[in-house]
Chains A and B, each alone.
Chain A
Amino acid sequence: MTRQTLTGILLFGLAAAVPAFVANPFYLHTGIALMVNIVLALSLNFILGYVGEKSLGHAAFYGIGGYTAAILAINYALPAWLTLIAGAFVSGLFGLIVGYPSLRLRGPYFAIATLGFGAILQLIATNWVAVTKGPMGMPGVPPISLPNPFGAGFVFSTERPYYYLALIFVALTCWITYRLANSRTGRAFVAIHENVDLAESVGIDTFNFKMIAFLLGTVLAGLIGAFNAHYTNFISPKALEPYLTLNAVTMVIIGGEGTLAGPIVGAVLVTFLPEVLRVAEQYRMVFFGLILLISIIYAPSGIVGLVRNIAGRREAARHGNAA
């Protein structure tokens, strides 16, 4: 077993043990919010971090997942396991529609398409009152409940079950990232990021792999968006705000794009830093924008990159050469 796997198992063990020691629902709630952010960051990481395509509308896919789940659960009383899958699926479908024409092209088209898509979706959510209830949002999204063929289903009425479900989603996302990173697919992602012409010339269907990365990310963003709508019993156009996209981008970049640990570290910082530093709500966008800028200028490979550099230099010093 590698040190990386061991660290992973240890961290998940710890996270799974938290509810046994922490009774305060506020802390569990914070943990759930953090895990939602982790999944969001890791889902963006496939296309932004590994492949390096500037996806600037990630909140839209999170929001699509949330609205899909909310509408299906409220209007059609569908069970949560179905609304979660539907949220992921519909989000992926929109990923296909946005990515298919724009990822074929070289240049800023994908960035523009995702940015535009995010803006359009926010307009739709705000103005299509008949379906989305408009700017007030949709309250009353029912809690998740597990079906039970022999009797009453198990309704998620406290933080604890949500905490564990979120942890499962984090584990799933980490697993996918970990497996891909060490396979032909992950190498193809990175190759496209590094040198798209060379990647093409060795036989990588670059469009195909960009699509895989983008769809994977939109499906997972939709899933966690649907989860959050059920958990908070609420969805509104706020879920589609550019602020949320900026959040996700910040998590990926300051943590370290194209790594597994980076977006997790980034999510921890973005979730807690404004609280710790007591940044007022209305200044947070400016705050994250600044942090993002500083990171891009001084630590383009993020915190994980910095740590690796230092570790690498130590290692080199120990072996007595500067390579």
Chain B
Amino acid sequence: MATLLSTTDLTAQFGGLTAVDRVNLTVEEGSVTGLIGPNGAGKTTAFNMISGFLTPTSGSVNFAGREITGHAPHRLAKLGMSRTFQHTSIFANLTVRENILVGMHLKIDQPFFRTLTGRIKPVDEDAVREILNLLELADRAKIQAGSLPYGDQRKLEIAIALAVGPRLLLLDEPAAGMNPEEAMRLVGVIRMIQKRDITVLLVEHNMRLVMGVCDRIHVLEHGRKIAEGTPAEIAANPRVIEVYLGKGQANA
């Protein structure tokens, strides 16, 4: 398998605090890769640097064979990267369907001047329906996104990011706030996404979800990468167990 995404000595400093400290990550094409670690470990900060929302203090990011460090997010979307946000991030005053249409921005062929002067191509409704079906939101299409129940809003976020048509999808705690049943359904969703040849980088605290769906996992603590391996390796790694359960309980 080829490497789709890699970071080299990726570092973010906020004043005196080093939130991400010389982290090297690789994400293989076609994989579901997990990025885990306790609160404040630097996962979201790493996401922000990879997706162009934060310029790294030092280090670099490579995506699909090119250096993309410091590229604006919209340029990365064009290259095939999309993401969700840790704090629910949708277009609350638009309908569910309109949210998807905005997500399809890059795929909709309606240039500005043609919009004013002539006929514009209609939107690909099949593509919209397909995404809504995948996330089980088809019957919510006309509802205002902000009035959806929380679990559905989280699904909508994924739907928007998928609508971009990415090669790499970054998910920041997609199961946060979902009930256990919704969270486990997410395993199925992520598998479906993987089947569509979309690579996934997943930040998540729900260990059942992470262990259930990831091919490979990276572990951060205090900005440093402390482990990398398959779910089985990570589950057996004493350093990781220590971090998650606290000192002295590693053998419990």
Q: Which residues of A contact B (CB under 8 A)?
A: 175-176, 179-180, 183-185, 187-188, 190-191, 194-195, 197-206, 212, 323
Contact = CB atoms under 8 A, between A and B. Distances in A.
Contacts of A183: 110, 115, 120
Interface of B: 51-53, 72-74, 77-78, 82-83, 85, 89-94, 98, 101-103, 105-106, 108, 110, 112, 115-116, 120, 143, 147, 160-161, 163-164
Contacts of B91: 190-191, 194-195, 198
A198 B94 contact: no
B52 to A, nearest CB: 8
Given A202-B164, A203-B164, A204-B105, 4 more contacts: A179-B116, A201-B74, A202-B161, A203-B77
Contacts of A197: 53, 73, 85, 89
A202 B85 contact: no
B72 A190 contact: no
Contact of B143 (A179, A199, A323): A323
Contacts, number: 89
B116 A187 contact: no
A180 B73 contact: no
Nearest to B102: A191
Contact of B108 (A175, A180, A184, A212): A184
Given A184-B110, A201-B51, A202-B82, A190 B77 contact: no
Given A197-B85, A200-B72, A184 B105 contact: yes
B110 A202 contact: no
B119 to A, nearest CB: 11
A202 B90 contact: no
A195 B74 contact: no
B116 A176 contact: yes
A183 to B, nearest CB: 4
B99 to A, nearest CB: 9
A205 B161 CA distance: 16
A240 to B, nearest CB: 29
A200 B73 CA distance: 6
A306 to B, nearest CB: 15
B158 to A, nearest CB: 12
A201 B82 contact: yes
Contacts of A184: 105, 108, 110, 115
A203 B105 contact: yes
Contacts of A205: 72, 74
B174 to A, nearest CB: 15
4 tightest CB-CB pairs across the interface, nearest first? A203-B77, A184-B110, A200-B73, A203-B106
B200 to A, nearest CB: 16
A101 B173 CA distance: 36
A176 B116 CA distance: 6
B147 A201 contact: no
Most chain B beta-carbon contacts within 10 A, residue among A183, A188, A202: A202
Nearest to A172: B116
Given A176-B116, A179-B115, A202 B94 contact: no
Contact of A198 (B52, B78, B85, B115): B85
Most buried by B among A203, A204, A323: A203
B163 A323 contact: no
A179 B118 CA distance: 10
Q: Which of A184, A187, A206, A323 has the most CB of B within 10 A?
A: A184
B74 A198 contact: no
A190 B94 contact: yes
5 contacts: A184-B115, A191-B105, A201-B77, A202-B77, A204-B102
Contacts of B106: 202-203
A175 B118 CA distance: 12
B61 to A, nearest CB: 15
A214 B68 CA distance: 30
Contact of B160 (A179, A185, A202, A206): A202
Contact of B102 (A176, A179, A202): A202
A229 B193 CA distance: 60
B105 A202 contact: yes
Contacts of A190: 91, 94, 102
Nearest to B160: A202
Given A187-B98, A195-B91, A201 B105 contact: no
B112 to A, nearest CB: 5
B147 to A, nearest CB: 7
Contacts of B98: 187
B185 to A, nearest CB: 22
A185 B115 contact: yes
A191 B108 CA distance: 15
